[in-house]
Amino acid sequence: MAFVTLATNDNYARGAMVLGQSLQNHNTTRKLVALVGPHVAEQDALRSIFDEVRVVDVMDSGDVAHLSLMKRPDLGVTFTKLHCWTLTQYSKCVFMDADTLVLSNIDELFEREELSAAPDPGWPDCFNSGVFVFTPSNETHEKLLGFCSENGSFDGGDQGVLNSFFNTWATADISKHLPFIYNLSSIAIYSYLPAFKQYGHDAKVVHFLGKVKPWHHSYDAQRGEVRGQSPDSCQLHPDYLLMWWQLYSTSVLPLLQRAYGDTPFNTGYTEVDDDNVSQEQPASVTPPPQKFSSEERKQRWEAGQMDYMGDDSFANIERKLDSFLK
């Protein structure tokens, strides 16, 4: 049995390392597996946390996955994620997005059956595909690929595909509904604050849903503060973002430095060694990393390598469309 995550670029690889470290810190007894896209450079550092790092290049495979991708080039990242079903050396797995963070031991999830997941905060009759229990099977994998290339995805990503495929989740078997505390998104905190105050302390997994990910912020190691946060956000809820950065700076960054030397990382991490840097100085805040130029992004898009979880996310595309309509 194994926890499985997916990193399609270097930023998600850092998220995956924080997730893997958080699972280890809470003494998981299961294996840790990372699926990585072919462009992820940080495989060595990943290998020091994960038991298995598997490179998935749907583009280069001659199999049914590649054929499916040629039919639906818009679903590149989705096909990469569906690859988790091919991990048949494990009898059961828990998939976790690289933008999740574990707050306590969750090995009990392996008692659940496929497909178990928590409700999505935006449409609770759909499950959120950031955390789910599944049974690896080449047969299921091929069925999923076939389904995906025939029907596409109603939301452009894996969550739409998986909800259409496992379409009895909402009604058939309540034991496949994971409690919300296994996939708590910050969106839900603000949309139902009294419930968060009542139940939030039981949270076991935090999911940094949305466009802005922890690695888009920057961190003042000296003061132990995440920059660019509104001052009252910490009063509303435990500072999950700060927890992510503390784990990143204490456990992941040393691994990256060991693997690559002291070359600066484009993560927004800044080390401040004196207090002379005043807060008004914008230079002390590192802007979010620019991953690709728009020309490079266009080329990647045309090659079927969309960054659906990042630059090419639906929200970004929608914003672009809106700018034309106004």
Which residues contact Mn ion (rule: CB under 5 A)? Answer: 97, 99, 130
Residue with Cβ nearer Mn ion (97 or 158): 97
Residue with Cβ nearer Mn ion (130 or 214): 130
Dihedral of CA atoms 221, 222, 223, 228 in degrees, nearest 10, equals: -40
Residue with Cβ nearer Mn ion (130 or 160): 130
Count Cβ atoms below 10 Å from residue 159 Cβ, excluding itself.
23
Residue with Cβ nearer Mn ion (21 or 185): 185
CB of 240 to Mn ion, least distance (A): 14
Per the omega criterion (within 30 degrees of 0), is the bond before 178 cis?
no
Cβ neighbours for 171, distance < 8 A, ≥ 6 positions apart: none
Residue with Cβ nearer Mn ion (149 or 153): 153
For residue 26 the two structure tokens come to 């809470």
Rounded to whole angstroms, how far apart are CA atoms 217 and 14?
13
Residue number of the CB closest to Mn ion reads: 97
CB of 177 to Mn ion, least distance (A): 19
CB of 96 to Mn ion, least distance (A): 9
- C-alpha distance across the termini of the chain, in Å: 51
Residue with Cβ nearer Mn ion (85 or 208): 208
Amino acid at 42: E
Rounded to whole angstroms, how far apart are CA atoms 12 and 130?
13
Residue with Cβ nearer Mn ion (121 or 220): 121
Beta bridge pairs of residue 127: 119
Dihedral of CA atoms 16, 131, 305, 217 in degrees, nearest 10, equals: -50
Rounded to whole angstroms, how far apart are CA atoms 25 and 324?
48
Rounded to whole angstroms, how far apart are CA atoms 182 and 97?
12
CB of 191 to Mn ion, least distance (A): 17
Rounded to whole angstroms, how far apart are CA atoms 137 and 125?
26
Residue with Cβ nearer Mn ion (144 or 205): 205
Residue in the block written with tokens 């994960």: 50
CB of 127 to Mn ion, least distance (A): 13
